[in-house]
């Protein structure tokens, strides 16, 4: 497989990166700076790409961040604490973020003659993030295949498993999860109380 992977620097995308590289696939990596308060996650994406010898590029979307600012990640809304099952976690949804990032990754894949774009959405995302749901990923994969000469498809192998399952995969191939970032608050140390931190702690326990 040759694939452009979208990597944030969190547990899920880092695990997918390692899994793909260890499978002897040809990989190019993209991270996105869309004005998120936790932009330091990209440092961890860079770390793992450098570790594995994967070409890594950062796409700057700051000039459109005001168009997707109705979110605790990109606007003047406080990041809520609690579990992803809480209704308040909808504040962390960045409008159509995956559609934007996947569209750019698909264009890049077409540009370099690749056949796949890889994304690490998982089952725990489905309840809160509409553009992480299997139906969305499958529909966009079909549209991408129709709309590109290379018939590019989206590879999303974690869609129906949990973050804990992902950690199990990562542990089996020796990933150091201390070199990943989950917290949405953009502070020096991961807070442990926001939705993504709570999910992280549950997965790693």
User: Which is higher by pLDDT, 67 or 108?
Assistant: 108
Predicted pLDDT of residue 91: 77
Predicted pLDDT of residue 86: 66
Rounded to the nearest integer, the mean pLDDT of the chain is 93
pTM of the model: 0.94
Predicted pLDDT of residue 75: 80
Predicted pLDDT of residue 87: 67
Q: Contact 23/177 with Cβ under 8 angstroms?
A: no
The CATH code of domain 2-65+95-175 reads 3.40.50.620
pLDDT digits (tens, 9 = 90+) for 10-35: 999 999 999 999 999 999 999 999 99
Predicted pLDDT of residue 98: 95
What does the domain layout of the chain look like in residue ranges? 2-65+95-175
pLDDT digits (tens, 9 = 90+) for 48-99: 999 999 999 999 999 988 998 889 888 888 887 877 666 667 778 888 999 9
């Amino acid at each position: 497989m040759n694939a452009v992977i979208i990597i944030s620097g969190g547990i899920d995308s880092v695990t997918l990166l390692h899994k793909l590289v260890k499978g002897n696939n040809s990989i190019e990596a993209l991270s996105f700076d869309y004005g998120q308060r936790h932009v330091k996650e990209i440092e961890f994406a860079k770390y793992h790409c450098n570790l594995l010898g994967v070409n890594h590029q950062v796409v700057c979307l700051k000039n459109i961040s005001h168009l997707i600012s109705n979110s605790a990640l990109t606007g003047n809304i406080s990041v809520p604490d609690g579990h992803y099952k809480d209704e308040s976690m909808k504040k962390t949804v960045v409008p159509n973020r995956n559609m934007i990032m996947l569209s750019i990754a698909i264009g890049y894949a077409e540009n370099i003659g690749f056949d796949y774009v890889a994304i690490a959405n998982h089952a725990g995302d489905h309840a809160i993030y509409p553009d992480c749901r299997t139906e969305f990923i499958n529909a966009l994969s079909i549209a991408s295949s129709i709309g590109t000469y290379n018939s590019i498809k989206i590879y999303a192998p974690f869609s129906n498993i949990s973050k804990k399952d992902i950690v199990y995969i990562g542990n089996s191939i020796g990933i150091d999860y201390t070199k990943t970032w989950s917290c949405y608050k953009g502070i020096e140390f991961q807070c442990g109380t926001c939705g993504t931190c709570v999910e992280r702690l549950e997965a790693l326990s």
